[in-house]
Amino acid sequence: MTAFETNAPTQPVQPIIVDAVSFDHQAHAAATATAKPLFDRLNCRFEAGSFSALVGPSGCGKSSLLRLLAGLAVPQNGAINRGDHAAVGFVFQEPTLLAWRNVRANIALPLKLSGLAQDAIDRRVSDALALVGLHERADALPRQLSGGQKMRVSLARALAAQPQLLLLDEPFAALDELTRFRLDDDLRAIWQAQGCTIVFVTHSVTEAAYLAERVLVMTGAGHLAADIAIAGQAARQSGGNFRAAPDFHSACDAIANALGHNMQGGA
| Sites of contact with other proteins (CB under 8 A) | 67, 70-72, 88, 90, 92-94, 96, 98-100, 109-110, 113-114, 141-143, 161
In the complex, minimum distance from the CB of residue 115 to other proteins, in angstroms, rounded to a whole number: 9
In the complex, minimum distance from the CB of residue 99 to other proteins, in angstroms, rounded to a whole number: 5
Contacts for 145 with CB less than 8 Å, ≥ 6 apart = 103, 137, 153
Phi, psi of 53 (to 5 degrees): -115, 145
In the complex, minimum distance from the CB of residue 104 to other proteins, in angstroms, rounded to a whole number: 14
Rank residues 103 and 215 by Cβ distance to other proteins and give the closer one.
103
Return the C-alpha torsion angle 222, 45, 201, 131, nearest 10: 170
Rank residues 78 and 110 by Cβ distance to other proteins and give the closer one.
110
Rank residues 160 and 228 by Cβ distance to other proteins and give the closer one.
160
Rank residues 43 and 144 by Cβ distance to other proteins and give the closer one.
144
Rank residues 12 and 95 by Cβ distance to other proteins and give the closer one.
95
In the complex, minimum distance from the CB of residue 136 to other proteins, in angstroms, rounded to a whole number: 19
Work out whether the CA dihedral 43, 47, 48, 51 comes out positive or negative. Answer: negative
In the complex, minimum distance from the CB of residue 238 to other proteins, in angstroms, rounded to a whole number: 37
Of 152, 116, 118, 117, the closest CA to residue 135 belongs to: 152
